[in-house]
Amino acid sequence: MKAWLKCTRCGRTYPPDIELRLCECGSPLILIHEIEGLGIGGTELKKIIGSRPPGVWRYLELLPKAIGEPVSLGEGGTYLQRAERLGRELGLRNIYLKNETVNPTGSFLDRGSTVEVTMALHSKVRCLECFSRGNLAASLAAYAVKAGIPCRVYVLPGAEQAKILQALAYDAELIYSSRRSDQLGDGHLVEPYNPFFLDGLKTSTLEILEQLDWNPPDAIFITMGTGSNLTAAWKALSEAESIGLIEENSTRLYGVQASGCAPIVEAFKRGLDEVEPKKDYKMIFPDISEPNPILGSIVLKAIRGSSGSAIMVGEDEILKSIKLLAKTEGVLAEPAAAASIAALKIAVDDGLIDRSERVVCMITGSGLKDPASMRELFKLSYPKHVRVSGTKLKILKLLSERSMYGYELWKSLKTAYGLEFKLPTIYQHLSELLRMGLIVSKPPEKGFGRRMVRKYHLTESGRRVLVESLNREP
Ligand SMILES: [Zn+2]
């Protein structure tokens, strides 16, 4: 079976070559598989696929060919979770989550990395490189380790620290620059729109189809940065149709971007065929903030061609969706992933989705990768979910009457409640309350004795938590 690279704009073709990602005309290339060359029908292919172990490489006939074992960490084969409790919240009967958080490095990109790195080894590449603000760096670095070749990451401004640390743990070399170094330019650059990489990403949609018994869902919601995941989904659906894995490609694709940097959604709303690069943008969630998405025009075509839509969601809506998803389905998503849930909610409200339709949301990455957003979320959930009891509650009560020094508190607990502790115990409680943001301590006031003593004050959060906790006291 043959395969070749084809330009998405001018149609020019090239033989498969890992170093090729753009056509001479400047547009991205995709890998075309000669379906007829397979010589088998859909039914037969389904059986062959079904006989292989789960994972990306199960769909061998629709992937680039390499000699030898794939470079794998066990990516793909992720759970398609029926989300009944979330569905009840949103008023939908048939929601599914494609839970990509369980991939080896915690994101869907591992599917692209296994294919790209396998092909890189096949082409005798000696070093891998990428530009990244987070997830791509972590994923590529892990697969480079498995392949036994070095990985160099150009860390872009605004990168997410935890994910970059993840790449560092996988022994990547970090260069804080948006330009490739000329002296070091010997590596193979992995972009999320590389044709082989896209083919790896495509397998999440192939899995969705297979998990739904080859009956395509009515809609798939996918967050967009460069647009690679949506492009891959579109490619998977069209290939599945032309090879006879599904009867009809009837799935509507919904692309999602976060407000602050949503050039694809803006182009869609304005009816444009091309995405205009954004000069002014806010990078709220760095990993999906792509001001100049190179796959923009393909994504627009895919969305329109599938009768889907492009939806923009706000920061607060995204954070609330993280919480909603976690508490209804036990899936902790990072903001980029939860954005698909936020968009689904909007689509339901706008009447774009019928209540009985089968809808899949791609949960592309794990919330564990983004402690900063988790902290934001925790702030949002005050005071509803934070309660204190026992000595801490008594300390808050005393501080609500007046601010006090530690020693004063110690004495007051004794006189007001008959509680007797050693002094350090009080300071232990105080430091925990400080960390929870329920109290603050001010530096010593001028002229107060000779000892460095701090006065403790109740914060607004502390006041709310106190009220909530007192209401719950028996
Ligand atoms: Zn071209």
| Å from CA of 9 to ligand 1 middle | 5
d(CA 128, CA 145): 10
| Å from CA of 8 to ligand 1 middle | 7
- Please report the pLDDT score of residue 115 as a whole number: 98
Query: Does 3.40.50.12280 match the CATH number of domain 390-472?
Result: no
Residues, CB-to-ion distance under 5 Å, ligand 1 = 7, 9-10, 12, 23, 25, 27
- Please report the pLDDT score of residue 447 as a whole number: 52
| Å from CA of 30 to ligand 1 middle | 11
Report cis status (omega within 30 of 0) of the bond before 383: yes
| Å from CA of 126 to ligand 1 middle | 28
Handedness of CA 270, 276, 281, 287 (dihedral sign): positive
| Å from CA of 412 to ligand 1 middle | 78
d(CA 90, CA 255): 19
Question: Nearest Cα to 198, choosing from 54, 35, 3, 339?
Answer: 3
Q: Who's near 316: CB < 8 A, 6+ residues apart?
A: 380
| Residues paired with residue 98 on neighbouring β-strands, in sequence order | 80, 362
| Annotation: CATH topology of 109-189 | Rossmann fold (3.40.50)
Which two three-digit tokens encode residue 21? 């990602």
Q: What are phi and psi of 455, to 5 degrees?
A: -95, 140
| Residues paired with residue 442 on neighbouring β-strands, in sequence order | 455
Q: Taking the domains of the chain in order of start, what are their residue ranges?
A: 72-105+200-379, 109-189, 390-472
Question: Nearest Cα to 32, choosing from 10, 2, 76?
Answer: 2
Which two three-digit tokens encode residue 239? 């290939």
d(CA 389, CA 441): 21
Question: Nearest Cα to 140, choosing from 160, 175, 164?
Answer: 164
| Å from CA of 303 to ligand 1 middle | 21
| Residue 112 · residue 377 · CB < 8 Å | no
- Please report the pLDDT score of residue 154 as a whole number: 94
Question: Nearest Cα to 65, choosing from 105, 115, 129?
Answer: 115
Q: What are phi and psi of 202, to 5 degrees?
A: -55, -25
d(CA 340, CA 47): 32
Q: How far is CA 291 from CA 224, 287, 330, in A?
A: 11, 11, 32
- Please report the pLDDT score of residue 40 as a whole number: 83
| Residue 86 · residue 323 · CB < 8 Å | no
Q: Note whether 72-105+200-379 and 390-472 share their fold.
A: no
CATH class of the domain at 72-105+200-379: alpha beta
Question: Nearest Cα to 300, choosing from 230, 208, 205, 353?
Answer: 230
| Å from CA of 250 to ligand 1 middle | 28
Q: CA torsion, points 101, 104, 106, 109, in degrees to nearest 10? A: -90
Question: Nearest Cα to 160, choosing from 410, 343, 336?
Answer: 336
| Residue 154 · residue 130 · CB < 8 Å | yes
| Å from CA of 25 to ligand 1 middle | 4
| Å from CA of 232 to ligand 1 middle | 19
Q: Who's near 52: CB < 8 A, 6+ residues apart?
A: 58, 60
Which amino acid appears at position 175 of this protein?
I
Q: Residues of the chain whose pLDDT is less than 70?
A: 1, 37, 185, 379-385, 444-452, 473-474
